[in-house]
Amino acid sequence: MKVGFIGLGSMGSAMASNLLAAGHALTVWNRSEAATEPLASLGAKVARTADRAAQGEVLCSMLANDQAVREVFLDGGLLDAMDPGTVHVNHATISVALARELAEEHAKRGLEYVAAPVFGRPDMAAAAKLNILVAGQPAAIERVRPLLEAMGSKLWPLGDAPERANVAKIAGNFMLAAAIESMAEATALTRAHGVSAADFLEVMTNTLFAAPAYQGYGKLIAEQRFKPAGFPLPLGLKDVELALTAGSAARVPLPFAGVLRDSLLEALAAGDAELDWSALALVAARRAHLDESL
């Protein structure tokens, strides 16, 4: 299939390389051109402008946040440059409100819009093992199914309205942040009484909390592996704020999300923006006046 891909960050570059590996004819664009080089060496065409990447049957995008998506697709005029009938598959974690607006803006122009946010960090993206939440018109989803299957291990359909996939992604990331914060606070407690984070998390993640989220982030906390960040703290803050905004819009109180937002802000105020969001463990340690090394 003739496909464009825009947004070649940690996730997008891994996802795009799997489209190439599956034999699709790929044209890529990224704001900073350097990120296109590894894909060009794998056989992708490089577009100098976003609209040149949008001339295939399908355009996939994996941009950072609402602001980036708005700048490129709406303010930058990319939607106006796309041919009617093209399917846009948006993988980014964006707000429910923007997802609704994008669905309307695509429909006005005769474009198809599929929301396909993902669970899985860059290593899972590289291994084509993402869990992909997908929502949009069934016919459009069927057209892009081979692409989604090349990037993920499982597709999770969530209905016709694109924003449903986004709200599920946002709610899932809220749960991940809560899991990290609970491990951060619990390990501060055990450490203050002489049990190391590694010993405590070994017990918990092999017994009561033997689930991928606890095991994956528990390992990062036990080993203090906060760098390089698979999911940097600012993106974590963005997602918890998306949950709070979606909650306000539907009058759904999320009291714990407020606590998570403040912990993430505290990490950023301490200068930790480059670290993975599992570095919430450092925030909990500092609050307890414990040595930052676990």
Rounded CA gap, 6 and 13, in Å? Answer: 9
Question: Applying CB under 6 A, which part among 29-37, 80-88, 149-157, 185-193 lies near ligand NAP?
Answer: 29-37
Distances (CA, A) of 162 to 17, 89, 157, 166, 199: 25, 10, 10, 7, 43
Site string for ligand NAP, 111-140 (x = CB under 6 A): -------x--xx------------------
Number of residues lying near ligand NAP (CB under 6 A): 25
CB of 288 to ligand NAP, least distance (A): 28
- Rg over alpha carbons for the chain, rounded to the nearest Å, is 20
Strands 118-119 and 130-134, by their bridges, are antiparallel
Near ligand NAP by CB under 6 A: residue from 62, 177, 183, 281:
62
Name the residue nearer to ligand NAP (CB basis): 173 or 263. 173
Using DSSP, state whether 90 is helix, strand or coil: strand
Under rule CB under 6 A, residue 180 binds ligand NAP:
no
* Tokens of residue 13, six digits: 């570059």
Near ligand NAP by CB under 6 A: residue from 68, 114, 135, 170:
68
Under rule CB under 6 A, residue 71 binds ligand NAP:
yes
Under rule CB under 6 A, residue 102 binds ligand NAP:
no
* Tokens of residue 266, six digits: 């505290």
Active site residues: 169
Using DSSP, state whether 130 is helix, strand or coil: strand
Candidates 147, 81, 150; CA nearest to 111 is 81
Chain positions contacting ligand NAP, by CB under 6 A:
7-12, 30-32, 35, 62-65, 68, 71-72, 92-93, 118, 121-122, 230-231, 235
